[in-house]
Chain A
Amino acid sequence: MSITVIYTIVTLVVIGAAAAVILYFVAQKFKVYEDPRIDEVEGALPGANCGGCGFAGCRAFAEACVGASELNDLNCPVGGNDTMSGVASILGLEAVQQDPRMAFIRCNGTCDHRPKTSSFDGAGTCAIASSVYSGESDCQYGCLGYGDCFDACDFDAIVMHPETGIPEIIDDKCVACGACVEACPKDLIELRKKMPKNRKVVVACRNMDKGGVAKKACEVACIGCSKCFKECPFDAITMENNLAYIDSDKCKLCRKCVPVCPTNAIQELNFPPRKVKPAEKEECTTT
């Protein structure tokens, strides 16, 4: 073995040892203490990084959980109560049960119900269309159908109906992250309390025009007649700006409001067929 090889090995060993010593001291000097529970909590989270909790990703949420003294305001809508109990047990805090929620699109203005009065051929996103004009029908509140919510959904829970052009939410896939709520420029999507078997009684309309104007623009518009408001035994319905709204936290799914609605703006979904008036039910849930 030549002397060159020996020198090389010795030099490299010396450099390596010196670097190791330097790195050790640097690492000690600049050490950042991180609570090991953050990693643990992050591991318990779904890892979708959807932002549904209001934080920038799961790690930020985990940090917030570890730093919090109670979990009242913190909720991972994707994981739900199981995940939050897991997080609570890691942190030794009390788990807070939250009602699971799911998205609902408050517009049923399909082409059959809402005649087109103009057409738009600009760039096809809801954000652009809504900034330049009110929509292809006379209803300025309704769904534009360019699918900004579809693009925003990370969970494949929204599909654009091929015939009506109105998005539909697949209840089982929706995790209530709220990305679609943010994306909709018409503010049509609402996160409602999840009921057993995904049952819903909802006003599928956001039209705040007076009755005549609303009805002219769309057959299934809420005309603000207040019949449902008077019918509701649980005070779940409020009237504001010519528009009825059913509070999902108060609604007991009695369905008394559905038959009184003169325009079929109130929808009942995922219920078994009604015995008395099957025809009416069919009309209400065609889409």
Chain B
Amino acid sequence: MLKTFKIGGVHPPENKLSKDKAIEVLPLPQKVFIPVAQHIGAPATPVVKRGDVVKVGQVIAKSRSFVSTNIHSSVSGKVTKVDFSADSSGYPKHGIFIDVEGDEWEETIDRTETLVKDITIDGPAIIQKIQDAGIVGLGGATFPTHVKLVPPQGMKAEVLLINGVECEPYLTSDHRLMLEKADEIMVGIQLLMKAMNVEKAVIGIENNKPDAIKLLSEKCKEYKGLSVVALKVQYPQGGEKQLINAVTGKEVPSGALPIAVGAVVSNVGTAFAVYEAIQKNKPLFERVVTITGKGVSKPANFKVRVGTATSELVEAAGGLPEDTGKIISGGPMMGRAISSLDIPVTKGTSGILLMQEKESSRQEVLNCIRCSRCTNVCPMGLEPYLLMTLGEKQIFDRAEKERVMDCIECGSCSYTCPSSRPLLDYIRFGKGKVGQIIRSRKK
């Protein structure tokens, strides 16, 4: 029997419309807007000003603290302004506007496609290079990778888990990457293993991607310590704690980091970015983005420069369908609806999903019928109906006791609720408030 995580989970329709579409390179946009906060942690500080000429791969914003990363220019051209522009939430975010002129790369970047297998540098140098290249977790959480690779005092990583699960419906960017860049990912994993000094790495892939499982299993034979585990299709298996549970059987304690059970999880996209950063000297300024949706005429996977407006992707996929109800950045379960097509692709954008009106609109909210489906599907073993009420009534001390901070916001509860109750909306609100309370207590 195939492995999966023990508690909860749902299996929404997969709808992987673009899984057979090879990765294409999106034509360069006319201009880009590159936000300086594309990661969890402190925003980077811009180091260019209006009128500066930049090259592809040049650092345009520097990190000033440990939990933060550098931002590199994804295009060559002239900086038109350093100003605010709305992000997916509509609130203004600081960033750099660049008008594209030509496509001139930094000379240090190796633009050839040849595979470089030999690892010539040692662990600490790898981590330093990852930090300089601005690499963050590309699964969507955008946590700076170099922070993850340095375990807290007294803890030691035993196994590196590579997340090739892609449990979100519709998204196929990781799937395509695994098929097309398998060797590069393997070398990337080797680099991560060396950086963390672990002997073993396991790639977890869901069973709906048999071609990727087959290919990577074969490639694994060439490398030491690598193996592939096929997993039963179950959302949210791509969640860090769920993947650890599925592959190793261990459970990360409440409030602890994965390193507490000796595991570190990285996405396949991150492994590929690490390969490019170290073997090709190429910082993170482009990524694979799936553009999909039931009404989209040409669902596709594009290699996109960071900062490209969403509208460019939509155009490339055949334009905006008339019956579009919501435009979602990310997957349908955890992604965010965006309020404008001007919003740029960032390091964390794994997909753009154009959802049809009837598919995306919420149903009328009915009373809770105590069916307990939400508790059954919660992968963290929480009681969503209770946490929702506590959020609604603003009883935050009780919410904290009921472990609201453990919620991973996967949305399984809202998805499964027969009364269409906005469970996650209120839980997320309660989680935010409890987080504030905990932070103020620490001060």
A residues with a Cβ closer than 8 A to B are: 117-118, 121-123, 125, 127-128, 131-135, 138, 140
Contact = CB atoms under 8 A, between A and B. Distances in A.
B336 A132 contact: yes
19 contacts: A117-B339, A117-B340, A118-B340, A121-B362, A122-B422, A122-B425, A123-B425, A128-B426, A128-B428, A131-B429, A132-B89, A132-B336, A132-B428, A133-B88, A133-B337, A134-B339, A135-B90, A140-B90, A140-B92
B91 A140 contact: yes
A48 B336 CA distance: 42
Contacts of A135: 90
B89 A133 contact: yes
B339 A128 contact: no
Interface residues of B, number: 18
Interface string B67-90: 000000000000000000010111
A123 B361 contact: no
A138 B86 CA distance: 9
B152 interface: no
A200 B86 CA distance: 34
Contacts of B339: 117-118, 133-134
Nearest to B363: A121
B432 interface: yes
A131 B362 contact: no
A155 B369 CA distance: 33
Interface string B328-364: 0000000011011000000000000000000001100
Contacts of A132: 89, 336, 428
Interface in B387-443: 422, 425-426, 428-429, 432
Contacts of B361: 121
Given A133-B339, A140-B90, 9 more contacts: A117-B339, A118-B90, A121-B362, A123-B426, A127-B429, A133-B91, A133-B337, A134-B90, A138-B90
Contacts, number: 43
A123 B91 contact: no
Nearest to A136: B339
B372 to A, nearest CB: 21
A209 to B, nearest CB: 8
A133 B337 CA distance: 9
Contacts of B88: 133
Contacts of B86: 134, 140
The 10 A-B residue pairs whose C-beta atoms are closest, nearest first, are: A134-B90, A123-B425, A123-B422, A118-B339, A133-B89, A121-B362, A133-B90, A128-B429, A134-B91, A122-B425
B91 to A, nearest CB: 5
Contacts of A133: 88-91, 337, 339
A131 B428 contact: yes
Contacts of A117: 339-340
A128 B425 CA distance: 7
B89 A134 contact: yes
Contacts of B422: 122-123
A243 to B, nearest CB: 15
Interface string B88-107: 11111000000000000000
B89 to A, nearest CB: 4
Contacts of A121: 361-362
Residue among B86, B88, B90, B337 facing the most chain A CB atoms (10 A cut-off): B90
B92 A131 contact: no
Contacts of B336: 132
A265 B329 CA distance: 36
A118 B340 CA distance: 8
A123 B426 CA distance: 7
A132 B425 CA distance: 9
Nearest to B365: A123
Nearest to A134: B90
A154 to B, nearest CB: 16
A123 B417 CA distance: 14
A117 B339 CA distance: 8
A135 B339 CA distance: 9
Nearest to B394: A127
Among A117, A123, A138, max chain B CB count under 10 A is at: A123
Contacts of B426: 123, 128
A133 B88 CA distance: 8
Contacts of B362: 121-122
A121 B360 CA distance: 10
A212 B88 CA distance: 22
A108 B336 CA distance: 29
A124 B340 CA distance: 21
Of A121, A135, A138, which is in contact with the most chain B CB atoms at under 10 Å from its CB? A121
A122 B326 CA distance: 12
Contacts of B428: 128, 131-132
Contacts of B429: 123, 125, 127-128, 131
A279 to B, nearest CB: 36
